[in-house]
Amino acid sequence: MEDIGNLLHGFSVALTLQNLAFMLVGILLGVLIGVLPGLGGANGVAILLPLTFSMPPATAIIMLSCIYWGALFGGAITSILFNIPGEPWSVATTFDGFPLARQGRAGEALTAAFTSSFVGALFAVIMVTFLAPVVARFALKFGPAEFFSVQFLTFCSFVGMSGSQPFKTVAAMMLGFALAAVGLDTVTGQLRLTFGSQELLRGFDFLVAVIGLFGVGEILVTMEEGLAFKGGAARINPRVVLDTWKQLPRYWVTSVRATLIGCWMGITPGGATPASFMSYGIAKRMSKNGRNFGHGEVEGVVAPETAAHAAGTSALLPMLTLGIPGSPTAAVLLGGLLIWGLQPGPLLFVEQKDFVWGLIASMYLGNIVGLAVVLTTVPWWAAILRIPFPIIAPVILVICAIGAYTVHNALFDVLLMLVFGVLGYLFKKLSYPLAPLVLALVLGDMAESSFRQAMLLSQGSLSIFWANPLVGSITSLALLLLLWPLLGRLLISSVTTE
Amino acid sequence: MSEHHPNETPSRVTMLMADAAVALLFAAVGGLVIFDSLRIGAGWGDDGPQAGYFPFFVGVALVVSGLVTAVSTLRYEAHWHRAFATREQLHRVLQVLTPTAVYVGAIFVLGIYVSSALFIAWFMVRHGGFDWRLTVPVAVGVPLAFFLLFERWFLVALPKGPIERMLGF
């Protein structure tokens, strides 16, 4: 019950006029970012992060997380109306959303998408409200070995659950760790991997990497396709909304399933994108109308959208309680916490009650505001997409350059952004995953320091990771996930040879 | 994404070449990390793990994963003849990449506002075929809006060049 009191206190923090205004600004910016190609949740938040340095942390995180919700909503608009996923997690929404729009049922598809996003997010927030304090209380007992084993588990689960080749996932992740190590080693004061360069002293900032990988890389991929926006008009009137709402309760089984998948994938760092695909796939297999999927089935919009939002929201749970972000955007928000001088992790719930509960309360409010905003403003966003690509593309690149510069006021970072952009393009073409790289870049220092502290305690013996049942089982689970692709292959080959 | 447009010619770069090159690049970076870690000490010092202790293992993992990826690419025969992209696709990518690189270079000399205006104008005329009546307002208006937003509202100074200096900023 203490948590309810905390939550009410959080509402009193979030419900100031200033915070509500920033919430609205955040949602609008977020939808804009979600709608525009090349700008997404992760790099959008990264670009805007430097602007929040002077704000109070609670206001800043409320605005940034609202940008995140807005981007989640915005991704659906382009998918349904233009068959262009504005975000990777809305790819699955195009499968049924675009056919619906072509049948003239765009309003229905959009309403279904927004509403199910809202439902997914709402359940995920409720889960965060009640689970986060429990996890945080539990994690207070963690020592360095436990922290490292949880971080290890995070990274291993990427390898185990990634669809692409596991060694590519490892390579991307290790590149992230290597880039994180560049610069001054805070423990020994030695310079690492700088090779005498002054510019490399600062190290690689993950914000610059995110802007390059996701922003510039995305523009290059879009350009390769020679893409031109073509799409239908969007008209939503209250009648369509109400009619769709009457219809939606029919899909409650799909919604519940999608929410569960989303929450699970968000807490484990699967993220919103695999969650949406998985949810769509399972809904297609389980639904009575499964055969109709892909030809314009409302249920095919409900399933991925609910899961994507549930995952996007619950990704904040491990970020707040353990300091381990469940998605690239959560990783950027985590970077923000560090910059504002807040140490993410279980102590946050003890020392920064206002901040944590203000954020959680703003998740409820932000999603309600978000739903209202997107339902009323869809036509405007659709109009933005009719701006020709030759105008949008350079403007987005300019925004990326400004964003990369403002991180450290360093021109060298703009150059780095370009290099990361080319890298992002190559990664996409060769199916290297981007998320592990970003997460490793953000968590690199933290993972290294908990590893070092654990090694200090044990005088260099790895046995500390099996020193008690808790850390032992986490480490073993991590190793199991790491070796999962290998085990899976062995199983398949033993079955086929029989 | 790998679907090629029907009447475009595949480039001579195959998936095999691109995949293997990037994988070997990973391995090379790993080698560099190992080299530098050994330089600063990757062992156990008087006061615990040395600075290169953790990066050393990261380097090893990079080398191993890079080499394994390179070798497994060779075994993946579908990759051998599939083109990395069509010539037209690469051309389109370079159409963005080259001016962007020039733009980034120009920021160092002209500052961000003038470079952005030129970049947007070039892009609109060259790829959009717009005439000056639309190009000039957009190319001047967008950087001007950013100027007001950053320098006036948020008080964040962005890089400026000789022209801004002449105007007294």
Closest residue to A405, CB basis, from B36, B59, B112: B112
Quote the percentage of chain A above a pLDDT of 90.
12
Cross-chain residue pair B124–A393, CB shorter than 8 Å: no
Query: B7, B15, B93: best mutation site toward chain A, by most A Cβ within 10 Å?
Result: B93
Sequence length of chain B is 169
Q: Whose CA is closest to B160, among A205, A392, A396, A405?
A: A405
Q: Encode pLDDT of A473-490 as tens digits.
A: 889 988 988 888 777 777
Handedness of CA A381, A383, A388, A394 (dihedral sign): negative
pLDDT exceeds 60 at position A120: yes
The CB density around residue B43, as the number of other CB atoms within 10 Å, is 12
A459: which 2 tokens?
């005088």
Handedness of CA B15, B20, B26, B29 (dihedral sign): negative
Cross-chain residue pair A391–B128, CB shorter than 8 Å: yes
The interface pTM score, or ipTM, of the predicted complex is: 0.91
Q: Give the integer Cα–Cα distance in Å for A96 and A79.
A: 9
Place of tokens 């309810």: A4
pLDDT exceeds 50 at position B3: no
| Pair A300, A96: CB distance under 8 Å | yes
Judged by a CB distance cut-off of 8 A, whether residue A448 touches chain B is yes
Residues of B in contact with A411 (CB under 8 A): 107-108, 159
Judged by a CB distance cut-off of 8 A, whether residue A395 touches chain B is yes
Report A:458-497 residues touching B (Cβ under 8 A): 460
Name residues whose C-beta falls within 8 Å of residue A394's C-beta, 6 or more positions apart in sequence. Answer: B119, B120, B122, B123, B124
The pLDDT value recorded for residue B2 is 41
Q: Which DSSP symbol is given to A226?
A: T
| Pair A240, A475: CB distance under 8 Å | no
Report A:69-88 residues touching B (Cβ under 8 A): none
The pLDDT value recorded for residue B4 is 47
Q: Encode pLDDT of A429-454 as tens digits.
A: 888 888 788 888 888 888 888 888 88
Q: Whose CA is closest to B103, among A457, A219, A440?
A: A219
Q: Encode pLDDT of B4-23 as tens digits.
A: 455 678 877 888 888 899 99
Judged by a CB distance cut-off of 8 A, whether residue A240 touches chain B is no
- Ranking A80-84, A328-332, B54-58, B126-130 by mean pLDDT, the lowest is A80-84
Q: Give the integer Cα–Cα distance in Å for A237 and A375.
A: 9
Judged by a CB distance cut-off of 8 A, whether residue B145 touches chain A is no
Query: B16, B33, B130: best mutation site toward chain A, by most A Cβ within 10 Å?
Result: B33
* Average pLDDT over every residue of A127-140: 88
Cross-chain residue pair A393–B23, CB shorter than 8 Å: no
| Pair A420, A216: CB distance under 8 Å | yes
The CB density around residue A482, as the number of other CB atoms within 10 Å, is 20
Instruction: For residue A191, give the 3-state DSSP assignment.
Output: strand
Instruction: For residue A430, give the 3-state DSSP assignment.
Output: coil
Cross-chain residue pair A429–B95, CB shorter than 8 Å: no
- The region, left, alpha or beta by phi > 0 then psi within -120 to 50, assigned to residue A294 is left
* Strand partners of residue B44: B49
Judged by a CB distance cut-off of 8 A, whether residue B22 touches chain A is yes
